[in-house]
Amino acid sequence: MLPLALLIAAAGVVWNFIADRRAAEQATALARRACEEAGVLWLDQNVQVVRKRLARDSRGMLSWRRDFDFEFSSTGDERQLGRVSLVGREPVGLIGPPPRVPTVFGFPGSR
């Protein structure tokens, strides 16, 4: 019975590792896209998990909430911190570079 319990525990550890890697890959893609859309530099091209805890997903089921930090720069001189949050495989938050706002020169009817 003990070998079966060890096998189940090992399978759980492997499954958790694979789920963590998939979540990190998804957070990486989200951070990259946010930086590209904002026109800023994505520094170090990676994300770091900073928090992992249980949370309820959109269906009310318990799942892992993972928060990943990344760094970006608008000028190349300073580093700013961003964060991507996932519950399971579902993105639930992004704190990072604001989207690029087009510059408007002259409004209609203005002089």
58 beta partners = none
Average pLDDT across the chain, whole number: 89
Instruction: DSSP letter for 60, please.
Output: S
Residues β-bridged to residue 14: none
SS3 content of the chain, % helix, strand, coil (to 5): 35, 40, 30
pTM of the model: 0.81
Per-residue model confidence (pLDDT) at position 111: 52
Q: Tens digit of pLDDT for each residue in 12-46?
A: 999 999 999 999 999 999 999 999 999 999 999 99
Task: Name which of 79, 85, 69 is nearest 41 in CA terms.
Answer: 79
